[in-house]
Amino acid sequence: MIGNWRVARFGARFAKAGRSAFRAPAPVTYALIALCCLLFLIGPAAGLNPAYGSGDGLLAAQRAYFHRWGVVPAELFEGAPRAALTPATALFVHGSWVHLLGNMLFLYVFGVMTEERMGHVQFTLFYLGCGYLALLGYAAANDDSTQSLVGASGAISAILGAFLFLFPGARVTSLLPFLLFLPLRFPAWVVLPFWAGLQWVAAGRAAQGPGVAYLAHLVGFGLGFGYASARFGRATRVKAAPAPASEGENQP
């Protein structure tokens, strides 16, 4: 009886937490994070699912998985219906634990306030649309590449661009390597353009095609900023808002 009571109590707490998350100001952001984490855990990249085997078998399964659900630029423009969907499916696939956690941290920190400002439906369409176009733009610039591109960075970069326009005075906590990773707080109008500048420099040096999709970051950032400025206009910008964050995104 005691065990059953504890199970019931845990179930009630879990249900209450789920209802609280649904009523939170950013349910779409939380749902995107949960979906990306779930798909990663059950996929081959996490290395936790025994169905994918181990060693060389696991590596082969990972390559096949990324090829199926990721963007392969050389195949995207051949006209196959399946390939046309990959810029959308690739947004929910991540290549490693670091890749996943870095992207989800940025999505959480900047997505909550952006979703609350845009509204749930508009934010969902914004995330998917800008993410799709960011990966499409990268693929167009590397149309002869046969390497798979996965990750939510294009969509998350669009959120960063929109956040910069909507909350330019928000204080963002950044960890800067050249300052011994000391946490320092700067306004978004300092941190986010600096981040975009780093992506620009890195994109200019990325001559070998896919790897880290810096160009997708730039396309997404520009789309996000442009959409926010066109949709909301200067009169609706928020001058200051709290936004603690960590600096660092390593993969697309």
Domains of the chain: 2-236 (1.20.1540.10)
- Residues 12, 14, 19: CA angle, nearest 5 degrees: 95
Q: Using one digit for the tens of pLDDT, what is the confidence trace for 204-218?
A: 665 444 456 888 999
- Average pLDDT rounded to a whole number, residues 109-118: 94
**What is the Cα–Cα distance from 229 to 223, expressed in whole angstroms?**
10
* pLDDT reported for residue 43: 95
Annotated active-site residue 153? The verdict is yes
* pLDDT reported for residue 174: 60
| Average per-residue pLDDT for the chain | 79
Annotated active-site residue 94? The verdict is no
Catalytic residue among 145, 153, 157, 174: 153
Q: What is the 3-state secondary structure (H, E, C) of the chain?
A: CHHHHHHHHHHHHHHHHHHHHHHCCCHHHHHHHHHHHHHHHHCHHHCCCHHHCCHHHHHHHHHHHHHHHCECHHHHCCCCHHHHHHHHHHHHCCCCHHHHHHHHHHHHHHHHHHHHHHCHHHHHHHHHHHHHHHHHHHHHHCCCCCCCECCCHHHHHHHHHHHHHHCCCCEEEEEEHHHCCEEEEEEHHHHHHHHHHHHHHHHHHCCCCCCCCHHHHHHHHHHHHHHHHHHHCHHHCCCCCECCCCCCCCCC
* pLDDT reported for residue 212: 64
**What is the Cα–Cα distance from 138 to 157, expressed in whole angstroms?**
13
Most confident listed range (71-85, 152-166, 183-197, 226-240): 152-166
- Report pTM: 0.78
**What is the Cα–Cα distance from 85 to 71, expressed in whole angstroms?**
9
Whether the predicted pLDDT of 12 surpasses 70: no
**What is the Cα–Cα distance from 134 to 222, expressed in whole angstroms?**
9
CB within 8 Å of 189: residues ≥ 6 apart: 164, 168, 169
- Average pLDDT rounded to a whole number, residues 22-47: 90
**What is the Cα–Cα distance from 123 to 159, expressed in whole angstroms?**
9
Torsion over CA: 106, 112, 113, 116 (sign)? positive
Q: pLDDT grade, residue 183 (50/70/90)?
A: low
Name the CA radius of gyration of the chain, rounded: 19
